[in-house]
Amino acid sequence: MSAEPRSTLPPVRLPSDAELARDALVAPLFARAVRLARWAGPDTRVDVGGELVADQLVGAVAELGLDERDEDSPVHASQAWRVAVDTGLVDVTEPEEDTGDGAEGEEPEYGTATPGEDLALVAGGAPGDVLDLWLAALDTVLADAAVPDLDDLVDALDAGGEIDFDRLDWNPQREADFLDGVLANLYLLTVAEGGPGDGPVPLPVLAASMIVPDDMGDPSDAVLEQVSDAMMRLDDQFRQLEPIGLVEYQPVDEELMAEADDEEFAAGDRTLAAEDEDVSRYGMVRLTPLGLYGVRARMLEAGVEAPAIGELADKGADTLLDAVSSYPERAAQAEIEQWLVGREPAAAVSELLAAARGDDEGAPLRRLRCQQALAPAGREAEPAVRAVLDDPELGGLARVWLAEHGVSDVPPPDGAMVFWLTVDTLAAQLTSDAETEELPLLMRGLTENHAGFFEEVWRVEHPATAYVLEAMGRLHPDRKASKEARKAAFKARSRQP
């Protein structure tokens, strides 16, 4: 499973394993599989492949309390049985393959089914055991969802009754990869800073994320038709994925489904731009907390970095600051708060300050995150902060913290420390904020409030001095100051060995 376009994803906040396990147990399809596993016994007969024979399927429908008059009920029961078998909730012994040598009218051979050993984990296992069973069930459902619907399979039968895969235009691996990519994009949209969060994603947006290149302007009619085709395919797949608890899905409006073959629907994505268009008619989907867990588990298995809030709680401060340096600000704050829980405040502050030192490229952002981590600390942290007042890398940070906490006898910083802290802060923000609109305003304020700013700052002994000045030359809103910044950057570069 891949997650494009990023190889490292923003961290996700997940409920506890116990909460997720409870969600798994009440997911309709998984609950049905468990119920059928408990129902299976010595008289349960299965055919080749472990499928229930016809009269047993009728019994499964009744056991699940499904409407016997509904033509979909046997399909739901059969899928629940397949999940039970694939997850090990049921053990089957298949019949011996029929050789055709049996006497006419002889009763056919059937296999048997009994509750599997893993069924005991549902009631007596740890939450992680239940989640492992649910993940196995998810694999089965995803595999089923990647298969074309029955009508397409019937249309693709050749004269001999075999499926003509070329005519069907179905590549199993391609379909599985497409669905994995869709789920990865939905995951990224959910966890990204500024994304929908817990809110649903319109199906056209999700389909377009797989079809429309990022650098494309107005999509062509051919591309829009591909998006519409993908929407129809995803509509069917999300209907199948909802019962396992992966997603909450509002299907495409039935009236739009009826128009699926019309040119008007093929241009449906363009109509979304109309102000009076109800986007929800085109389908809305969101990953449930259990779904986030499931997609993340699959990505981790594929080697994708998909962090979760709280997984650094038992790590050292150096690991914490390195990791949260690449997190969005709110996610970094959440991870820091989890890390601080249960730690003695003064010792935690000392460890954070020690981890913030360094002259490598990532050090300014580590110090910015350290300052963020120190913000909630109370006066009990004052001795640890005072201990670094004379530290050339941490002294400015320490003074800021002490001043913010109302400490009155803080020695004022000298000019060199002020300019060093300015460069360090700008370097951190250039990295973390990716040159946001606020940065030029900050730069304007610095130069307006410090006469001769550029004449002083190029002399600062900081590894990022030239880099910061070059950024100021590019971003500063005042043309004269921008020119002075470029000159100062040249001087700073000239001082480097």
Domain ranges of the chain: 310-412, 414-497
Per-residue pLDDT of the chain (497 residues; tens, 9 = 90+): 544 433 468 899 999 999 999 999 999 999 999 999 999 998 899 988 889 999 999 999 999 999 988 989 999 999 999 999 999 999 998 887 654 444 555 556 888 999 999 999 999 999 999 999 999 999 999 999 988 765 544 454 555 555 555 555 667 788 889 999 999 999 999 998 766 667 899 999 999 988 887 667 677 778 888 888 888 889 999 999 999 999 999 998 877 666 655 544 444 444 444 334 577 888 999 999 999 999 999 999 999 999 999 999 999 999 999 999 888 888 888 999 999 998 998 999 999 999 999 999 999 999 999 998 998 888 888 999 999 999 999 999 999 999 988 888 889 989 899 999 999 999 998 887 655 678 888 899 888 888 889 999 999 999 999 999 999 999 999 999 999 999 999 999 987 76
Helix, strand, or coil (residue 397): helix
> How far are the Cα atoms of 48, 54, 88, 201 from residue 114, in angstroms, in the given order?
16, 18, 10, 42
For tokens 């591309």, what's the residue?
Answer: 223
Give me the half-sphere count of Cα atoms (radius 13 Å) on the Cβ side of residue 291: 28
Rounded to 10 deg, the angle between the 363-374 and 415-432 helix axes is 100
Q: What are the strands, taking DSSP E only, across 135-230?
A: 201-202
Cα–Cα distance for residue pair 383/379, rounded to 1 Å: 8
Query: What's the one-letter identity of residue 267?
Result: A
Q: What would you measure as the largest C-alpha separation in the chain, in angstroms?
A: 105
Stated as kind and residue range, the H or E segment containing 58 is helix 54-63
C-alpha count within 13 angstroms, C-beta hemisphere, residue 423: 31
Q: Give the Cβ contact number of residue 229 at 10 Å.
A: 14
pTM assigned to the model: 0.82
Q: Quickly list DSSP for 106-134.
A: PPPP-EEEEE-TTHHHHHHS-HHHHHHHH
What 3 state SS string does 203-217 have? HHHHHHHHHCCCCCC
| CB 137, CB 30: distance < 8 Å | yes
Other C-beta atoms closer than 10 Å to the C-beta of 227 total 24
Q: Are 282 and 268 in contact (CB under 8 A)?
A: yes
CA dihedral 212, 213, 219, 220 (to 10 degrees): -90
